[in-house]
Copies of this chain bind each other. A is one copy, B any other.
Amino acid sequence: MNIALLFEDDFIDDDTAVVTDRRLKHLQQIRDIKLGDQIGVGQADGLLGDATVVELDSESATLKIIWNKQPPAPLPVTLIIALPRPKMVKRIIQTIATMGVKELYFINTYKVEKSFWQSPWLTEAKLLENIILGLEQAMDTRLPKIHLRKRFKPFVEDELTGISKDSLRLVAHPSDSQDCPIQVKQQTTLVIGPEGGFIPYEIEKLEACGFTPVSLGDRILRTETAVPVLLAKLF
């Protein structure tokens, strides 16, 4: 937690906030804050600031804040990922939030196991919890939007053209593809398949929608590794 991210309910007025819950616990137990200490804060979807601890007890910390900095620039990418197994979801959410992705779609594909959609990590509360952890790590304030799409064909046929309009359209797909481009720095829509990959029908549907298959080489990466690797190469 490199900043504490603050939400509307935390504020008494524009530059005073009262922090409780996980954030207070972290500040007291890990950071060992004292009255008068300075800590970094951010306002959800707003500015970054420096806060002074003006009141402190075991229940809450009151922060007086000077807002002074824009959050870091987002990555110009919309990420579309075949829903991975539940234990990976948590880490992927934190990673994409830390790296600056602001639009993420989890989609169904032939090789996504149906049970994955029952994952407790996909509830709104759990998604938000891991988004916040990722943003606090990166000192970012802008919350990414996460969309769940449980049917592949309607998503590709009805939504994907609109989502990917005027962007570079890439699908990570190992076999015989061209190398993933480097440092493209333009608006990009990036699709990442499931363990076991897309089936040919799915690749055909994506190609028909303007997507080019690209590869990261011979080594097959887990989704949780492929995400930071692809983002690091592209931006």
Q: Which 5 A-B pairs have the closest CB atoms?
A: A232-B232, A138-B219, A229-B232, A72-B218, A228-B228
Segment touching B, from A49-57, A95-103, A152-160, A163-171: A95-103
Chain B residue numbers with a CB within 8 Å of A138 are 218-221
Residues in B neighbouring A217, C-beta threshold 8 A: 72
> Contacts A228-B228, A229-B229, A232-B228: A221 and B72 contacting too (C-beta < 8 A)?
no
Closest to A233 in B: B232
Instruction: Determine if A221 and B182 form an interchain contact, defined as CB atoms under 8 angstroms apart.
Output: no
**Residues 129-156 of chain A, each 1 if its beta carbon lies under 8 Å from chain B, else 0:** 0000000011110000000000000000
Are A221 and B98 in contact, with the CB atoms below 8 A?
yes
A118 adjacent to chain B (CB < 8 Å):
no
Chain A residues with CB under 8 Å of chain B are 2, 72, 95, 98-100, 137-140, 182-183, 217-222, 225, 228-233
Contact B182 A225 (CB under 8 A): no
A229: chain B residues within 8 A (beta carbon):
99, 228-229, 231-232
**Which residues in B have their C-beta under 8 angstroms from that of A182?**
182-183
Residues of B within 8 A of A137 (CB): 219-222
Cβ contacts A to B, 6 pairs, < 8 Å: A137-B219, A139-B218, A182-B183, A225-B228, A229-B232, A230-B232
B220 near A2 (CB under 8 angstroms)? yes
Which of A218, A221, A232 has the most chain B CB atoms closer than 10 A to its own CB?
A232
Do A95 and B232 touch (CB < 8 A)?
Answer: no
The residues of B that contact A233 with a CB separation of less than 8 Å are 232-233
Given contacts A228-B228, A233-B233, contact A139 B219 (CB under 8 A): yes
Q: If A229-B228, A232-B229 touch, does A219 touch B98 (CB 8 Å cutoff)?
A: yes
- What is the minimal beta-carbon distance from A92 to any residue of chain B, in angstroms? 11
Which chain B residues border A140 with CB–CB below 8 Å?
219
A175 to chain B, nearest CB (A): 13
Minimum CB–CB distance from A106 to chain B (whole Å) comes to 19
From residue A196, how far is it (CB to closest CB) to chain B in Å?
Answer: 10
If the complex has contacts A228-B225, A232-B229, A232-B232, are A219 and B95 also in contact, measured as CB distance less than 8 A? Answer: no
